[in-house]
Structure 1
């Protein structure tokens, strides 16, 4: 079990790296331990002034790091003001004591790197200038007689800030990438969930309507025409088997509707419901994706006609035009009620809303509303790619 868990963690990607925090940068204050001991033992001239300067430096250093790491304040002027004050105290200690408090410069470099890490040009100029100034000061000190030590001092001072900025930027970039990956994964799950809910709604809504209509036909025909009732019962069995297949396809993501199949199913359902069907289909063959989308429209539209309209006549027209296909479903039923929808708006339940989103994603549109005083009209339009249309032919 343990090995399997470890393998899963490796497969999911690297574990989140721990970002340097306030405690990490506070530990660097130990580089001043030698001068601190000199203050405490009284070996340093004007030890009280040096101790006061160290306290001010420490407070400014910690405040600068804290505000620069704080997401709410790092983009304000507060870290810059604190960094400027820290630089003044650093140069004051170094110039006042000359050979003391030299390790404040690497600490100033660290604070500069943390504060300016989001501004590559400014941080390069600031750390470069700080390294050069510290190198010059080391050269002027009486105890400095090695050119290599002077260069190393200046180089190390500037490099401290560069390393701090690079590490923080790397950690923050990794955190942003992880957050983005989680958001993308969540969005993918939501899209798949939405696709599945739409497919399931369209499949079950239509199929259950067919089963209900044919079951009613069996009940009506049973006493007086058993043979016709048996035929309707066989249709119910066939519809149920087809629904199982379609649900499996929807679950696996391979559900592809067919406009021709849905038109045939629509005629059969309308006839079984006692609704006169008139279907007209003109134009060149449609690409599979366009036909599948229109098939969903036919399925949902006819389901609504059978379940809600109370119509006696329904017309379905598919008209292919250059670069576009037009589908219209009209009936003479009760329509949508007394309240008329706004222009361009789709009325109806979740099925029509889902279809509107599907067609909009493909560059098409779906509109519905009353057809005159009575009845209801559903209109769908989709663009047709000419190359795909030629391949479909």
Structure 2
């Protein structure tokens, strides 16, 4: 794989990250829409006061001005309590409690003074109580028990001896349920938001830890090696004029140390970049879409060993790069089918007529990182792991790459690199 191919694949994670950011943004927008009840959710319940307004218009509430002011006071205090309970700056202050105290006083006053449909304000008072965070838990339960009992008693008293008791029982029960359900729903959504915030914080912490780990690994790998190279380079400069053989020996040592450092960095970077096969498939999908090709990705079967996923990930990366650069295809299909003992990866495109594609060592598709990841280098690497890689024309049109690999396998290149490094030390 040449420099251009490297650049294409270096861009693909960025495209995937951008798509992930867009997906996260859409998820946040959906979360904002469906984040739970807000302050405006509780305003339509004020329609329960229509009966009281009707009483005022019909003259059943005595002085209509006093009744109208009482209705206005109740609605105003109800809105104040709900809005204060959802205001981030005031929800934990005494403002909701003070508003609730005033709302309670007005509710009892109009219920005792007018009775009839005015007792329907008790469920509204209970609903407003459920939004106040300071009452959540045991205080709210005790308050609602007392409030529902008083609402039932006042309703039965104001309806007189001819009442069958169902009105009193209904108002009392509605009062208790309104507050409890409101508090339970709001508490549930608060818990969901806290869990989501915790999940995001854990994800950010994991990313920061990984960045710290990788930077620490690079420092450990390069710190000592570069110091040795600097010291030996100074020795070469001092010895070059009077002892050429000694200077050449130091230069040879610099070459050996540099090769060892390159091997160590290659292993570290390869381990850092090689993610799961699913990650490589997502990157391939992004690259194909960016190139104007239709990606079709299918994956089935049990999970694979990390080594098998790494090898198949290299195959996906290389074959998709070849397709983008040389095929002129409009469609590329990637299928991963795993069984109990072997996994089969097939990459097919519908590009130009079959013909040889330069994928051998030293060709434009060859990449020397990790032992060479052109198709020929990958075939050798897969063969050492007990797998196979076949490539060629797909019928009258297009190109196909078929890879088979044992499900439980080890990457021989990783073992080889570790052995070389151990010998170098």
* Same topology, TM > 0.5: yes
Matched, 1:127 2:144: yes
Which residue matches 1:23?
Answer: 40
Query: Where in structure 2 are there 5+ consecutive unaligned residues?
Result: 1-14, 273-425
Confirm whether residue 104 of structure 1 aligns to residue 124 of structure 2.
no
**Aligned residue runs from structure 1 range 262-281, under 5 A:** none
Do the aligned residues in 2 keep the contact of 1:116 with 1:122 (CA within 8 Å)? Answer: no
Provide the residue aligned with 2:265 in structure 1: 247
Deviation at 1:232, TM superposition (A): 2.4
Match of 1:65 in 2: 82
Map of 1:85-100 to 2, 5 A cutoff? 85-100=102-117
Please list the CA deviations of residues 333-391 of structure 1 after superposition, one character each: whole Å capped at 9, or x if unmatched. Answer: xxxxxxxxxxxxxxxxxxxxxxxxxxxxxxxxxxxxxxxxxxxxxxxxxxxxxxxxxxx
- Aligned residues of 1:35 and 1:100 also touching (Cα < 8 A): yes
CA-based RMSD: 3.3
* Bigger relative CO (Cα 8 Å, ≥ 6 apart): 2
Structure 1 CA distance for aligned equivalents of residues 20 and 220 of structure 2: 40
Q: Which residue of 2 aligns with 1:55?
A: 72
Q: What is the Cα deviation at residue 237 of structure 1? A: 2.2
Taking the aligned partners of 1:98 and 1:115, their CA distance within structure 2 comes to: 26
Asked whether 1:194 is paired with 2:212, we answer yes
SS of 2:73's equivalent?
helix
Between the two proteins, the alignment pairs up a number of residues equal to: 252
Cα gap change, 1:148/1:42 in structure 2, threshold over 3 Å: closer, same or farther? closer
Q: Counterparts in 2 of 1:208-227, with a 5 A limit?
A: 208-222=226-240, 224-227=242-245
Alpha-carbon distance in structure 1 between the residues aligned to 2:162 and 2:185: 32
Structure 1 residues 195 and 163, CA gap change in structure 2 (3 angstroms):
same
User: Residues 1-393 of structure 1: matches in 2 within 5 Å?
Assistant: 15=31, 17-42=34-59, 44-116=61-133, 119-140=136-157, 141-142=159-160, 145-222=163-240, 224-251=242-269
* Partner Cα separation in structure 2 for residue 238 and residue 6 of structure 1: 44
On the 8 A contact 2:152/2:171 being kept in 1, the answer is yes
In 1, Cα distance between equivalents of 2:255 and 2:246? 14
CA-CA distance at 1:93 after TM superposition: 0.3
Aligned residue for 1:81, secondary structure, equals helix
CA distance in 2, matches of 1:204, 1:225: 29
Deviation at 1:8, TM superposition (A): 6.2
Give, in whole Å, the separation in 2 of the partners of 1:53 and 1:217: 96
Tell me if the contact between 1:131 and 1:154 (Cα under 8 Å) persists in the aligned partners: yes
Structure 2-normalised TM-score?
0.52
SS at match of 1:74: coil
Q: Deviations over 1:277-321 (max 9, x none)?
A: xxxxxxxxxxxxxxxxxxxxxxxxxxxxxxxxxxxxxxxxxxxxx
Q: Distance in 2 between matches of 1:203 and 1:5?
A: 32
> Offset of 1:144 from its aligned partner?
6.8
Structure 1 unaligned runs (5+)?
255-393
Deviation at 1:7, TM superposition (A): 12
